[in-house]
Structure 1
């Protein structure tokens, strides 16, 4: 019964995080699916042992442990890929900003002084 309550609590938390826009939909699907798989295990614990026997695992607990570790491995792999992609994107954006700063500095150095403009005034503003 505790397993089912945990699954319901997990699904409710995911739905609430989605509602508050604290969790992206692309991640929520996986977590909701996990919660929906956990819920029936509390109501039918013998089904887990039947599945374990069918796949050749000694007990349902061992199967859950293996699947949990495999699940966490996949999550870590996906998040590592995402972090690598974001690091590359951040580096590219930093390089583009640096190049734009150089261009702006060069334009300011080449621009003739405007005698009607006061220091610190925005371009195009009248003083």
Structure 2
């Protein structure tokens, strides 16, 4: 792995880490969502400091270049994270639909009661 790539990984990881921490401090990001980005930035920091890890896993997976392993690993992790977020959005969408229906029913009965009292 080239030195320039290691420096880029190191700087980008630090920037992401501090950006996420800043958002947590300002209460603009929940810790449960920030945890993924914190762990990812720490993993990239470790890979930039100890490139032997990338060489080791690239050899195990049969990938010729450790850079390709890092890209493949990053893409796979992002796919998994994207799937998790899709599940979360689907769950929230179902909850919104249920709440909307409940509010509509309550408003209907409230209007019925008002009409009966007149």
TM-score, structure 2 as length reference: 0.86
- Structure 2 match to 1:52: 58
- Structure 1 match to 2:76: 70
- Structure 2 match to 1:123: none
Q: What CA RMSD, in Å, does the superposition of the two structures yield over aligned residues? A: 1.4
What do residues 59-94 of structure 1 show as CA deviations (whole Å, max 9, x unaligned)?
Answer: 111111211111111111111111111111111111
Query: How far apart are the structure 2 equivalents of 1:47 and 1:99?
Result: 58
What do residues 10-31 of structure 1 show as CA deviations (whole Å, max 9, x unaligned)?
Answer: 1111111111111111111111
**Which ranges in structure 1 are unaligned for 5 or more consecutive residues?**
113-127
Matched, 1:24 2:27: no
How many pairs were matched up? 112
Larger radius of gyration: 1
TM-score, structure 1 as length reference: 0.80
**Which ranges in structure 2 are unaligned for 5 or more consecutive residues?**
1-6
